[in-house]
Homo-oligomer: A and B are copies of this chain.
Amino acid sequence: MIYKVKPNLEVILTPSLLPLYHLQDKIVVVIDILRATTSICVAFQTGVKEIIPISTPEECATFKAKGFLCAAERNAIKVEGFDMGNSPFEFSEPTLKGRSIAFTTTNGTKAIKLSQQSGATQIVIGSFLNLNFLCKWLISQEKEVVLLCAGWKDKVNLEDTLYAGAVIKNIKHHFQMDCDSGIMAESLFLVSENNLETIVRQSSHAKRFQKLNSKTDDVKFCLQMNTINLIPKMEGEYLTLGKGTYTSAVPVDSAS
């Protein structure tokens, strides 16, 4: 009888812990629930052609001359003079169809850049909106997976950890996990899943939004489950939908 060895599954709770992990030859799922990776999923659902993650607003602004839309957020606020900030509502405008976007945020795009610098070769984007679609795909790949939480300014945050826990709950039987952060994340999700919005609104980042008195309820939007069946993926310097293997018109109800 032959037993297949299950691939490893790990969680990195913040990019500041990246130096402790090996990313080579693994699928790295970058997670910034509030709001970068949610907005990226929405952008491709809207029909955006490609997104280039950029480190600084200064560099981001230079892409204007190349015909890009430029989106920049710092400390949860849109940077003045840019076309867009980091709200998923901005990324669902039909006028974005076919456009290229240069995008810089406090945590999410930084986590993408840092994981590239740490040797990641296969980077995909996770959000609650594409949760089950992503989970099914992760299982199908039979490769090692690292869930990288973008956190808040290098600190651990609640909503990204919760999402890591949601992924683990969905895919754990297909992986082996020798990772205390993973046990913690799943445990946190299991006690929160019926009450997700209330829990996330206690997070430091949700409190930051509350103070901004935004007209849109970005927290509620970012906690929608399985509304999108696609997986944005880094190809070179760009986020794209790749060669068509990362989208599906078929509704995805459950990954397990």
Nearest to A185 among chain B residues (CB) is B184
Contact A180 B203, CB 8 Å, known A16-B17, A17-B155, A155-B20: yes
Q: Mark A125-159, 1 if CB is under 8 A from B, else 0.
A: 00000000000000000000000000011111110
A2 nearest CB across to chain B (Å): 25
Contacts of A77 on B, CB cut-off 8 Å?
A: none
CB of A225 within 8 Å of the partner chain: no
Contact A154 B192, CB 8 Å, known A178-B204, A178-B207, A184-B184: no
Number of interface residues of A (CB under 8 A): 29
Cβ A184 vs Cβ B204 within 8 A? no
Q: How far is the CA of A207 from the CA of B157 in the complex (A)?
A: 27
Q: Mark A86-114, 1 if CB is under 8 A from B, else 0.
A: 00000000000000000000000000000
Which secondary structure dominates where chain A touches chain B?
Answer: helix
Q: Mark A174-195, 1 if CB is under 8 A from B, else 0.
A: 0000111101100110111000
CB of A161 within 8 Å of the partner chain: yes
CB pairs A–B below 8 angstroms (25 shown): A14-B17, A16-B16, A16-B17, A17-B17, A17-B155, A17-B156, A20-B154, A152-B180, A155-B181, A156-B184, A157-B180, A158-B180, A158-B183, A158-B184, A161-B184, A178-B204, A179-B204, A180-B203, A180-B205, A183-B202, A187-B191, A187-B192, A188-B188, A190-B191, A191-B191
Inter-chain pairs besides A155-B181, A183-B203, 6 sampled, C-beta below 8 Å: A13-B156, A17-B17, A20-B153, A152-B180, A161-B180, A180-B205
